[in-house]
Chain A
Amino acid sequence: MNMKILVVDDEEDVKSLFEQKFRREIRGGQFEFSFAFSGEEALEYMQNHPSEVVMILSDINMPGMSGIELLKRIRSEHPSAPPQVMMITAYGDAANHDQAMQLGADDFLTKPVNFNELKEKLLLL
């Protein structure tokens, strides 16, 4: 089974980090990662690849469209075949967490990301 995951972060190095961290899983065909470096790019990607993405990992603090804004748009524009959305932020305070969960996030992670924990969570899906 091939799970399609879209990672949204303004830091481009996230791409190589994920690709290296999940090297085995990608090689084994368990995960397939796509990357978007802004909220706008993420929405465009979803427009071009409808109903493909199963999981979205998004940063909250990004220039332009924030992760929270992206989450709102995803929930309003893609009501059918809704992807799972996991928010990742450096600001792990309760207000941020509550807002994300209220807007329909499925999970909430704080930076620095514990990749082992993330791996387990992704494998459970």
Chain B
Amino acid sequence: MHFIVAFFLIQFAHSAMQHTDKLPKWDNFFKYARYYTFALLAIYYIARQPDMFTWVWNLSLLGLLWVFYKEDDFLTIRSTVQSIVPFVGVSMLSDLVELLFPKFHKSYDDIFGMAILFAWIFCFVIWFYARKQQKVLSQERRDRLRDEEIAREQKQSLEYLVAERTQELTQQKEELQKAIEELKATQNQLIQSEKMASLGELTAGIAHEIQNPLNFVNNFSEVSVELCQELEEEIDKTGIDDNDKDYIKGIISDLSQNQQKITHHGKRADSIVKGMLQHSRASSGEKEPVEVNALADEYMRLAYHGLRAKDKEFNAALVTDFDTTIGTVNVLPQDLGRVFLNLFTNAFYAVAEKKRKLTEAGQLGDYKPEVKISTKKFDNKLYIRVSDNGTGMPEHVKAKIFQPFFTTKPTGQGTGLGLSMSYDIITNGHAGVLEVDTVEGEKTEFRITIPIA
């Protein structure tokens, strides 16, 4: 009887523990507890069923109960385990009474036997009930686990979706950022070209306003020179004393020279004004097929000899790298010629300046001034490069070179209109692009790109 209670108690506790993570810790305990019950059973039969053996059983069961009460790991089964308390209690009471009052016990033997039997049955009823409840619980647990599994899967798929969306958004963000950067660049370009256009208009407007008074200055000074000549002739006709005549002629000559100076500087101003007016001039002439290589070569030589005429010392290597497949291209020949002239003049100036500076510093070494022109036709575009190994430009100069009136040359040597006009001719006249690359103290390269239909 006790064996069955002990056996089922251990079995029950063991199976209850299987649903928790505490099993490994108690596995051995259950194993030895089982061996112990079997051993007790064997000893009980070997010892021919001594009466006092129920004490051993009851104490063992109490020990088991004590373990279950003591350890928090068995909290879940504690209430069920309690069901054996009446059985053990009744059994021990019966044995105690038998030991102390054997007569009394004998006369109520049946009642004690019945009580023990009921307590025993009570144990098993409780156990079955507990088992049933445990089954329901474990079913619920399984359901919960399955729900958790489903939830986990859903969570995983959601996380995947989120990751996917995040990636999409990141990509979109990058694209937008790129677009914004492009927009900014375009805006800068627009502002730049707008600035150029308004400066060009302003320049032209100023030029027109200056031209009329300037014409008067030039015309009046010219006519004054003529008047001086006339006056000189008239003086000879008079009978004034020769000394006085010479004195008067001297004054007239000074006046005449002054007028000539006025004319000279007036003409200088006039050429600047003319340069400014060329800005606004609506495209002069028609586009016509032109041998671009020949045009470039011609103006390169023109610029070179122009500088040579002023500075006999000057020398530079002229390097040409022409794409002979270009043939003729529809351009405004005079305008493009001006662009070439400007670019080459600047290039020669830059190499001459570098040579001069190096000579002054005594570091000429093996510096060889070189100006290079290269042309290339590719993908319906004409590429022209004018490069030199001259002084180059610092960044703040590079930023301003296409603005009208910006010049680094000494007063009187440059109007600051050459590159601004070239920019206008290439961008507006030919729908092309004029760019510059430069390394200060080393080189400058101007790149023209013109679309050819």
Residues of A within 8 A of B (CB): 11, 13, 17, 20-21, 23, 90, 93, 111-113, 115
Check B281 against A112 for contact (C-beta < 8 Å).
no
Task: Tell me whether B212 and A11 are in contact (CB under 8 A).
Answer: yes
For A23, the chain B residues whose CB sits under 8 A away are 227, 230
Q: Does B293 contact A (CB under 8 A)?
A: no
Q: What is the CA–CA distance of A59 and B60 in the complex, to the nearest angstrom? A: 137
How many angstroms between the C-alpha atoms of A115 and B225 in the bound complex? 14
Q: Which residues of B contact A115 (CB under 8 A)?
A: 219
Tell me whether A20 and B223 are in contact in the complex, defined as CB-CB below 8 angstroms, given that A93-B282, A111-B215 are known contacts.
yes
> How far apart are B157's CB and chain A's nearest CB, in angstroms?
74
Q: What is the CA–CA distance of A66 and B223 in the complex, to the nearest angstrom? A: 28
Known: A93-B281, A111-B215, A112-B215. A17 touches B220 (CB 8 A): yes
List of B residues within 8 angstroms of A111 by Cβ: 211-212, 215
Instruction: Given A90-B208, A112-B215, A115-B219, answer yes or no on A20-B227 (Cβ-Cβ < 8 Å).
Output: yes
Which residue of chain B is the closest to A16 with respect to CB atoms? B220
Q: Report Cα–Cα, A93/B218, bound state, in Å.
A: 22
- Contacting residues of chain B (199-228) with chain A, CB-CB under 8 angstroms: 208, 211-212, 215-216, 218-220, 223, 226-227
Contacts of A113 in B (CB 8 A): 215, 219
Listed by A's residue number, 9 A-B pairs whose Cβ atoms lie within 8 Å are A17-B216, A17-B219, A90-B211, A93-B282, A111-B212, A112-B211, A112-B219, A113-B215, A113-B219
Are A112 and B282 CB-contacts (below 8 A) given A20-B223, A90-B211?
no
In this assembly, does B270 line the interface, its C-beta being within 8 Å of a C-beta of chain A? Answer: yes
CB distance from B312 to the nearest CB of A (A): 35
Q: Please give, as numbers and ranges, the residues of chain B lying within 8 Å of A20 by CB-CB distance.
A: 220, 223, 226-227
**Cβ–Cβ < 8 Å partners of B218 in chain A:** 112
Closest Cβ–Cβ distance, residue A26 to chain B (whole Å): 13
B63 to chain A, nearest CB (A): 123
Contact: A17 with B281, CB < 8 Å?
no
Cβ–Cβ contact B223 & A21, under 8 A: yes
Chain A residues with CB under 8 A of B223 = 17, 20-21
In the complex, the answer to whether B270 meets A112 with C-beta atoms within 8 Å is yes
Q: Which residues of B contact A13 (CB under 8 A)?
A: 216, 220
Q: List the A residue with the shortest CB-CB distance to B282.
A: A93
Besides the known contacts A13-B220, A20-B227, 15 further A-B residue pairs in the complex with CB atoms under 8 A apart = A11-B212, A17-B219, A17-B220, A20-B223, A20-B226, A21-B219, A23-B227, A23-B230, A90-B208, A93-B281, A93-B282, A112-B211, A112-B215, A113-B215, A113-B219
With A and B bound together, what is the CA distance between A31 and B205 in angstroms? 36
- Residue ID in chain A nearest B208 by CB atoms: A90
Chain A residues near B215 (CB-CB < 8 A):
111-113
Nearest to A115 among chain B residues (CB) is B219
Chain A positions within 8 Å of B270 at CB level: 112
